[in-house]
């Protein structure tokens, strides 16, 4: 339970990958982009929304939270950034995706009617995409915070 005057913060990634340098365009074959689309569809079939964080600030304000703020940050995928902090973030994201891919995927993709074999075969391609340093992909980290009213 959040006490009056206490702060709530949520941090969530958007799984819609893009690039600023042309290494990932809408025409570029990229299994991770396909994965995000399938994951969103599977979660929708299960009654969940992959992009719920996009409306969280409005929901918090509607629930009475005060001083609600939303910020976004680029989160690279992999070690391609020159900036040391961004490179570290990119390595962390890549490791997190690789380590959690099977667990995150099974239920949503099965909700789309996929078999375990189909899932595993597709995840091979997703892992290749995640490991491809030639694609300078990033996603967006959304941070939303607000204060519960005092009274």
How many domains in the chain? 1
DSSP string, 36-98: HHHHHHHHHHTT--TTGGGGHHHHHHHTT-EEEEEEEEEEESSS--SSHHHHHHHHHHHHHHH
Per-residue pLDDT of the chain (151 residues; tens, 9 = 90+): 799 999 999 999 998 999 999 999 888 888 999 999 999 999 999 999 999 999 999 999 999 999 999 999 999 999 999 999 999 999 999 999 999 999 999 999 999 999 999 999 999 999 999 999 999 999 999 999 999 999 7
* pLDDT value for 58: 97
Domain that holds residue 121: 7-147
For residue 1, tell me if it sits in a domain: no
Structural domain includes residue 2? no
Distance CA 17, CA 103 (A): 20
Is residue 114 in some structural domain?
yes
pLDDT at site 28: 84
Q: Does residue 95 form part of some domain?
A: yes
Q: Is residue 32 part of a domain?
A: yes
pLDDT given for residue 1 in this prediction: 78
What pLDDT is stored for residue 147 in this prediction?
98
19 inside domain: yes
Instruction: Name which of 15, 25, 124, 121 is nearest 77 in CA terms.
Output: 15
At residue 140, what are phi and psi to the nearest 5 degrees? -110, 130
């Amino acid at each position: 339970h959040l006490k009056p005057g206490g702060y709530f913060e949520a941090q969530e990634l958007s799984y819609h990958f893009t690039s600023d340098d042309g290494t990932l365009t809408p025409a570029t074959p990229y299994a991770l982009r396909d994965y995000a689309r399938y994951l969103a569809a599977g979660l929708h079939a299960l009654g969940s929304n992959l992009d719920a964080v996009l409306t969280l600030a409005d929901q918090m304000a509607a629930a009475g939270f005060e001083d609600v703020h939303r910020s976004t940050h680029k989160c690279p995928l992999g070690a391609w950034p020159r900036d040391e902090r961004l490179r570290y973030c990119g390595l962390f994201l890549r490791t997190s995706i690789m380590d959690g891919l099977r667990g995150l995927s099974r239920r949503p993709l099965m909700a789309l009617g996929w078999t375990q074999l189909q899932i595993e075969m597709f995840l091979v391609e997703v892992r290749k995409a995640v490991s491809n340093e030639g694609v300078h992909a990033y996603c967006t980290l959304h941070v939303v915070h607000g204060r519960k009213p005092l009274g």
